Structures are given as C-alpha cells and as structure tokens.
A and B are shown apart, each in its own frame.
Chain A
Amino acid sequence: MVAQYERPSCLIEGKGVFFEESAVTKFEHKDLLGMGPLSVPEISLILDTAESLKAISARDIKKVPTLRGKSVVNFFYEPSTRTRISFDVAAKQLSADTLSLSATTSSMVKGETLLDTARNLQAMRPDLIVLRHPSSGAPHMLAKEVEAGIINAGDGINEHPTQALLDLYTIREKLGRIHGVKVVIIGDISHSRVARSNIIGLTKMGAEVTVSGPPTMMPVGIESLGVRVTPDPAQAVQGKDVVMLLRIQLERQSKVLFPSVREYASFFGLTTEMLQGANEGAIVMHPGPLNRGVEITPEVADGPYSVILDQVANGVAVRMAVLYLLIGGAKGDNVDQGR
C-alpha cells in the first residue's frame, strides 16, 4: 500500500498511560519540540532536576559553571519578554554564553528564509537554539536541518512545552502532586499553544483536565486529547484544584470569535465569586502577560489563590533543567558543581 505512516499514538490512547515514577537519569533527546515526545519518567526527571536547580536563584551568587563553554541562541521571531528573559537568565545562571536574535535584528527582514538563517547559525556551531516562531511546526523543521538542539519556546498555535513544564512544576510544588489533580483551563483553547502543551502534559501525568470557553474557541475534536469540555466557566471551576487562565490575544483576535472584550470579560472573566466553587486550597494560574479586567479580575490576579508570580520564578528553574538535560555534558554528573 502506498500510504504508510505511523498512527499518532496520542489520538488512539486518549488519556495518557501512567508509569510508576521511576528514577530515570537519562534524557536522550536532541530537542524539546513539544510535550508529546516526553515520557512520564522524563517529565518527572525534568521537574526533579528543576527542583535541585531552583536553589541557585536564591543564592547571593546566582551562577554555577555547569554549562561553561556552551552557547545558547535565543532566536525569537515573535515579541516576548517573559520567555526570552527567562531562557536568558536560565542559561546565564548555568554559565552558558547566550546571544539573542529577533526577527527585526536578523536577516529575516532582508528576506532570508528561516532555513537559511538556521543553516548560517549552525555554521557557528551553537549547542542549542531556543526558537519562538509564529508558524506551527517551525522548530520541527529546524530540528531536522541543524545539528544544534532545538527548544521550542512557542510555535504558532501548536506548543509551548517549557510553559507546560513550569506549570506542572508549580502544581506539584503547590499541591504536592499532579496525578489526580483536577484542572480547568479557561480561554481560547483553539489558538493557545499553552493550552495544547498543558493538555498533553497534564493528561500524561494523570491529572483530570477540563477545558472551558466560548464554543468559538473550542477546537474540533478536543475531546480526543482526553479532556472534558464544560463551556460555562463558573460551572467548570466547580470542584477544581487548579484554575488555569489563558491570555485573550486582543492583538490577534479576529472579530468573529467573540463580540466584544466587555462581553468576554463579563461572561468568561474569572472573578472571586466564581472561585468560591473551586476546591479548598485551589490555585489560579496564568501564563502572562495578563489582561487585567478581561480574562481575570485584578482581585483574583493579586489575591491569595494566585500563583502567577511563582510560575515566573519556576520558569527559570525549569528552563535551567531543560538546558542542563539537553546539553549538560556527561549525564549523571553533579548538576551543581559550583557549590
């Protein structure tokens, strides 16, 4: 037969298969393109590694020599503050050399293609390229073409794996577990790479995931990823341990998905009142940047439920872990040799 391809396992399994958390010490990936290719033990390894690295940020001298002599290119085709700075800080704390490229400072503005830019970068032999790109699949294309490892720092509406990893880390840190935790994700599920990575990561790790938002923002067949759909956010929040909000992308929203920001805010914005239905000790998460008064009221953003700034802090630790595991030399070395 002519058409031969592997069936994507994610489509068949629905919910992830759980393994006993085992102490794997090997991380045999060249790239981190998405949550899909990661196994449960590998995700656990990243989170464990992040935990041991988090202490570094708390020290007076926030630097260890682990990645000395390694180079990391931050290649951002889309505006980003949080993620770019987070990767930069993470790499610098591990003593890697970093350099930043953006679409406007690179030869992209002169009409160079992504592949040509990447091949030129490759010629300078970086160890890792951290890529943020508006096209889904761009990091996958790059990964096939260059020897350097690729970290997907957000591709189009596809994935943003380090965001999901830092969210998993934060959930584990705050609630002590991921397995069995009840999570609701509210917002534009269709156009959110954060949602997609979190859905894959959370279901893999055994969390129960519900998605909520206007039907115009629900992708076709989202249930096939192992989630439940509850359009009414107040109802969806009921009995949840984690309420994860997505940024409403005002800048790229086409008019037809919802009539007005005002209407979205009044029906889907998370209020203190809605949170009453959540479980005792529930946490509120947001990948940032916030649209205060749109998807989240200021009271909730600054309230006791909110772990939004913890997410940012954990982002550095998780990205350090990912950098270390991808290019950290001999696996199994002591992570923190600078002690």
Chain B
Amino acid sequence: MITWIRGGNLVDPVKGTVEQVDVIVENGKISRMLPPGVFQEEGPGISRIEASGRMVVPGLIDMHVHLREPGHEYKETIASGARAAAAGGYTAIACMPNTAPPNDCRAVTEFILEQAERAGWVRVYPIAAISKGQAGETLTDFGELKAAGAVGVSDDGFPVVNSELMRRALEYASFYGLRVISHCEDRGLSGNGVMHEGVVSTRIGLAGIPDASEDIMVYREIALSRLTGRPVHIAHVSTAGSVDLIRRAKKKGIRVTAETAPHYFTLDHRRVIGYDTLAKVNPPLRSPEDVEAIKAGLREGVIDAIATDHAPHSSLEKEVEFDRAAFGMIGLQTALPLTLQLVRDRVLGLAEAIGKLSWAGATILGVPGGRLVEGGNADLAVIDLDYEYPFEADRILSKSKNSPFIGEVLKGIAELTMVGGKVVWEKR
C-alpha cells in the first residue's frame, strides 16, 4: 500500500524552506520525497491525497497538554484529547502529570501509554512528576519512569518551591536524558491573585498576579542550570521579564529552552474585562507590552517552542464566580490558526512558525518527528492556510469547551492529519 501526497508545498523547519514536493508513504514511513511530476504510478495499490495549493508540514508536536486521565475523565480523556489534537494538526502530544493520581510512578505512566495506544489518534508522550505526589519533597524514580516511557519530568501546576530539590532534579534527570520542565511561579507572590496585576486588575477589582511572580522563578531556573550545567525548559512564558532573562541566559550559553502558548501572543489582560472565566489562565493574560515582548522573543528565537498548555475544564469549574473558577483554557484546535496569524503579521516565517509547533518540541523532548525526511515516520499534516471559519463550540472535539476563542473568526486549518502513514483526521 502506497500513499501519494501529491502537489503540496513541503515545509521544512530545519532548512527553513517551502517547496513543492510529492511525498510517498509506504508502511507508515516516508519512502520517497520527489519533485513534482517524477512519481507517475497509478493502480489499485496507490491511494492519492491531493495537496496542491496546500502545505504539507511535519505533524505538529505539542510538548504541553493536560489530558485529565486518570482522575478527571469528565473534563477530558486521553482519547478525547488525542482526537482534538489530531483535528488540530498534531501527531504527538506530551501530557503533564497533574492527574489524579499524578503521574509519579511507573504504573500511571504505563496506564497512560496503554490508553493512548487504545485510543490510537496520535502519539502520546507522558511527562512524569518531578516529586512524589507533586508535593515538592522527594524525587520520583526518574530511571524507572524513563524506562516506562516518560520523556520528561515536571511538577507543572505546582512549582517546585525548594531550590535544592530543583537542583537535584536537574542533575539527576540529565543522567537519564529526561528534560526538566519548570512551571515558574512564586506562589507567595501570586497569593490569591486571579489575573495579571496591572491597570486592568486595579480597574475591575480582581486580585493580581504580578509579572515578578514568574520572572523570579525563571531566574532561579537559569541560575540552577548555570550552576549544574544541565538543561532546563521553561514552560508557558508570559512576561517581558522572562523573555529578557532567557535572552541573556542564552547569550551566555546557559542551556535554557522555553515555550509560550498562543494565548500569550494573542490576548492581553483586557480580555478579562467582563469577568469572563474563559480568559482565566495561569500564568495570566498579561499586558499588551508583554504580548509584544513574547512576539519579539519568538522572532529572535529566545522562545523556542509554541505549546498549547491545553487545559480542559468543564462548566463545573468555569460557570462560577471569577475568583472561584479554575485556571486554564483548551488550545489544541486553535494553536495552528493563531500561530499562522503570526506569519500573516510577519512576526515569523512560515517554516519558522511550523518549526516552533513541531521540530522545537521534538528536539527539546528528544522524541522523533518534527521534520519530514525519507525513512522517517509518516507523521504529517496537510494545511490549508487560507481557510477561514468561525470557531464555534460545535467544532471543539475536547470534552471541555473552555476556549476564549469561541465565536472568533480563525484562518488556517489542518485538512488532514496522518500518523504513521494512517490518516487519523480529515476535515469534513
């Protein structure tokens, strides 16, 4: 069985090129990549995917999602999250450990992989907890977790308060080649804050989370990375201060990588006016100046990756008073169009943007993919850059519909997603 993806424009984030190439897929792998017109075979064993006028990109890789299983299956399951990912052009997602129970032991990691295998939509890479119970006290069994299939460690959602524990995590994780991902937040400073501290929080009377709450911990991770010589990855960067710190650290050769999420370069704190709980997220939507700094960080390569921080919550957590609502928004089906907006706004080139959505995550986590090469997995997406559509709740495949972008007109969509040579998603 041969699949012939014909006439598409192949995006290569590593070479930074976009050129017309026919992609031939056999046995789940890319067997050949040929200039148009070279491949001419016809026959019953050949299925054809028409991609002219479309972009053929490496399957997107999201290094930061919350799948809520085990424990909160009413919000999302591994299957529903993986299906939403496929619809968003993703072929692989890495899920954070803050489930119930948390992914802090081999049994949970294996359970996640089994459920993902059963669901079958996209590849799922578990990220295990740094500390047992995500309690910030003792390290989890990194070696065993790695052997079970974990690709990184993070206490996402619960910042590691104890700096020594973080230091030891960096040192110990490096022995197993596990990337440490840090949720940077000084909870003492965040206090009972529910949005960015600034003129808007002052105006609408909501307790603020200062930008320094993030910056301080970003600096700590940089200092620990320098001290230990080990790499560290900063999750969901939202402030101008963080961008500045990471920029300087990178210049000094400190091994820090960083991701941001589409809402941090698309929305600012004014979106909270009206007390819309869909705009409540942690870190919070920041000021317009921060948004500009995030874009600059992406353009300059200070921020390596765009991840979604897909955080499903049901109406139980969202249809309540603002200060009682849960933090977080879903993002798997909006990340691509929102990132393509950066291309239209000339913040990023197309290959660069696709690279931040795919190659960057693959490189940081050390997982395959992120680039289409002969002999590699046929994990790819066919993208229509020009397709415009109102993003309505009925499009959302996550179990939870907590997106602040519902009702917005988005541009750009994954028409088809292929994982291991199998078409897992086709736009109706």
Q: A: which residues have CB within 8 A of B?
A: 1-5, 7-8, 10-11, 113-115, 133, 135-138, 140-141, 155-159, 193, 196, 219-222, 224-225, 254
B69 within 8 A of A: no
B201 pairs with A115, CB closer than 8 A: no
What CA separation (Å) do A2 and B323 show in the bound complex?
26
Tell me which residues across on chain A come within 8 A of B207, comparing CB atoms. Answer: 157
The reply to whether A136 and B198 form a contact with Cβ atoms under 8 Å apart is: no
Say yes or no for B274: interface residue by CB 8 A criterion: yes
Between-chain CB contacts (< 8 Å), 27 pairs: A2-B409, A3-B267, A4-B408, A5-B270, A5-B271, A7-B270, A8-B200, A8-B270, A8-B273, A10-B203, A113-B319, A113-B320, A115-B319, A135-B321, A135-B323, A135-B324, A136-B275, A136-B323, A140-B274, A141-B275, A155-B205, A156-B206, A157-B205, A219-B208, A220-B198, A220-B201, A254-B191
Contact for B202 among A5, A114, A135, A225, CB less than 8 A: A225
| B341-A8 in contact (CB<8A) | no
Nearest-CB residue, chain A, relative to B320: A113
Given contacts A2-B341, A3-B268, 20 further A-B contacts (CB under 8 A): A2-B409, A2-B410, A3-B267, A7-B270, A8-B200, A113-B319, A115-B320, A137-B205, A137-B274, A137-B275, A140-B275, A141-B322, A157-B205, A157-B207, A158-B205, A196-B205, A219-B202, A220-B197, A225-B202, A254-B191
Q: How far is the CA of A133 from the CA of B319 in the complex (A)?
A: 16
**Per-position contact with A for B187-198: 1 when CB-CB < 8 Å, else 0?**
000010000011
In Å, the complex CA distance between A5 and B267 comes to: 10
Contact of B273 among A5, A135, A141, A225 (CB under 8 A): A5
B204 at the binding interface (Cβ < 8 Å): yes
CA gap between A156 and B195 in the complex, in Å: 14
Q: Which of B191, B202, B320, B323 contacts A221 (CB 8 A)?
A: B202
Contact partners of B405 in chain A: CB under 8 A: 2
B191 to chain A, nearest CB (A): 8
Q: Is the CB of A137 within 8 A of B206?
A: yes
**Cα distance A189–B80 in the bound complex, in angstroms:** 46
Closest to A156 in B: B205
Query: Is there an interface contact between B275 and A224, defined as CB atoms closer than 8 Å?
Result: no
- Output the nearest chain B residue to A116 by Cβ-Cβ distance: B319
Residues 317-329 of chain B, each 1 if its beta carbon lies under 8 Å from chain A, else 0: 0011111100000
| B271 and A219 within 8 A (CB) | no
* In the complex with contacts A136-B204, A156-B205, A3-B271 CB distance below 8 A: yes
Chain A proximity of B100: nearest CB distance (Å): 20
Among B268, B271, B273, B408, the most chain A Cβ lie within 10 Å of the Cβ of B273
Which B residue sits closest to A160, measured CB to CB? B205
Partner of A136, one of B205, B267, B271, B409: B205
Are B270 and A224 interface neighbours, CB within 8 A? no
Are the C-beta atoms of B408 and A2 separated by less than 8 Å?
yes
Does any Cβ of A come within 8 Å of B266's Cβ? yes
Within 8 A of A (CB), among B337-392: 338, 341
B199 at the interface (CB under 8 A from A): yes
Q: Are A114 and B200 in contact (CB under 8 A)?
A: no
A224 touches B203 (CB 8 A): yes
Closest 4 pairs (CB-CB, A-B): A158-B205, A137-B275, A135-B321, A221-B199
- A38 CB, nearest partner CB in chain B, Å: 16
Q: Which residue of A lies closest to B316 (CB)?
A: A113
- Assembled-state Cα–Cα distance A113/B408 (Å): 29
Contacts of A141 in B (CB 8 A): 275, 321-322
**Which residue on A lies nearest to B274, using beta carbons?**
A140
Contact residue among A2, A159, A220, A221 (Cβ-Cβ distance under 8 Å from B205): A159
Note all chain A residues with C-beta closer than 8 A to B210.
220
Cβ 8 A contact of A1, one of B204, B319, B324, B341: B341
Q: How far is the CB of B220 from chain A (nearest CB, A)?
A: 21
Q: Which residues of A contact B266 (CB under 8 A)?
A: 2-3
* Residues of chain B lying within 8 A (CB to CB) of residue A135: 321-324
Closest beta carbon of chain A to B149's beta carbon, Å = 36
CB distance from B396 to the nearest CB of A (A): 16
Interface pair B204/A11, CB less than 8 Å apart? no
CB distance from A288 to the nearest CB of B (A): 20
Chain B 403-426 interface mask (CB, 8 Å, partner A; 1/0): 001001110000000000000000
Q: Are A8 and B203 in contact (CB under 8 A)?
A: yes
Give the residues in chain B near A222, CB-CB below 8 Å. 202
Report Cα–Cα, A86/B270, bound state, in Å: 35
- Say whether B202 contacts A133, CB under 8 Å: no
Q: Which of B199, B206, B207, B319 has the most CB of A within 10 A?
A: B199
Taken together as a complex, chains A and B put the C-alpha atoms of A125 and B401 apart, in Å, by 31
In whole Å, how far is A220's beta carbon from the nearest beta carbon of chain B?
A: 6
Chain A residues whose CB sits within 8 angstroms of the CB of B267 once the complex forms: 3
By a CB distance below 8 angstroms, the chain A residues around B322 are 135-138, 141
A224 cross-chain contacts in B, Cβ below 8 A? 199, 202-203
- Please give, as numbers and ranges, the residues of chain A lying within 8 Å of B275 by CB-CB distance: 136-137, 140-141
Are the C-beta atoms of B320 and A225 separated by less than 8 Å? no
Task: List residues of B (192-239) whose CB comes within 8 Å of A's CBs.
Answer: 197-208, 210
Q: Which residue of B lies closest to A195 (CB)?
A: B205
Chain A residues with Cβ under 8 A from B324's Cβ? Answer: 135
- The CA of A263 and the CA of B220, in the complex, are separated in Å by 35
A2-B405, A140-B274, A220-B198 given as contacts; is B321 within 8 A of A225 (CB)? no
Which residue on chain A has the smallest CB distance to residue B404? A3
A133 near B204: Cβ-Cβ < 8 Å: no
A137 touches B204 (CB 8 A): yes
Across-interface contacts of A159 in B (CB, < 8 A): 205
